[in-house]
Copies of this chain bind each other. A is one copy, B any other.
Amino acid sequence: MKLEEELKQTRFKDEYQRAMLNIIFTGNWLEVWTTQVLKQYDLSSQQFNVLRILRGSSPRPLNLLDIQERMMDRMSNATRLVEKLRQKGLLTRKQCDSNRRKVEIEITEKGQALLKELDPVMEKNHLELTKKLTVAEVNTINELLDKLRD
């Protein structure tokens, strides 16, 4: 849907401003979708993100800074985010022996299982996307966004 309709706006200053708002809006739009889906699993999108990061590095554990670097939002609540997931038994954390400032954070079996359950659910959204855009088109998006952040 055209951004003008989404935001009930008749016009934007120019295509650059339109693009800025379009990217922010679409990003939000995608995140809202994810958040909705994850709610049924009692996960926030950030928590999900952390779990996926840990799966990605598994079986190698990560420390908090590693996680923060890989996160979508880099705020300083990684400690509490991880603690939440630990309470749910989705990951473990222990002090690092070689450097006791660090913690070693690892996804658990239960965490792995939850992600496995979520994979097909997320896949469904992915299929929606496939219907709307060709591979060539998503490649273009990726390329242009990377360029934009240069």
Given A146-B2, A146-B22: A130 and B73 within 8 A (CB)?
no
Instruction: Find out whether the CB atom of A73 lies under 8 angstroms from the CB atom of B28.
Output: yes
Copies of this polypeptide in the complex:
2
A26 to B105, CA, bound (A): 27
State which size class the interface on A falls in. Answer: 35 or more
* Chain B residues, Cβ within 8 Å of A97: none
Interface with B: A85-93, A107-115, A131-139, which one?
A131-139
**Residue in A7, A132, A142, A150 with the greatest tally of chain B CB atoms within 10 Å:** A142
Interface residue from B16, B135, B141, B149 paired with A1 (Cβ < 8 Å)? B149
Interface residues of A in 120-137 (CB under 8 A from B): 125-126, 129-130, 132-133, 135, 137
**Least distance between A128 CB and chain B CB atoms (Å):** 10
A residues touching B (Cβ–Cβ < 8 Å)?
A: 1-3, 6-9, 15-31, 56, 66, 69-73, 125-126, 129-130, 132-133, 135, 137-142, 144-150
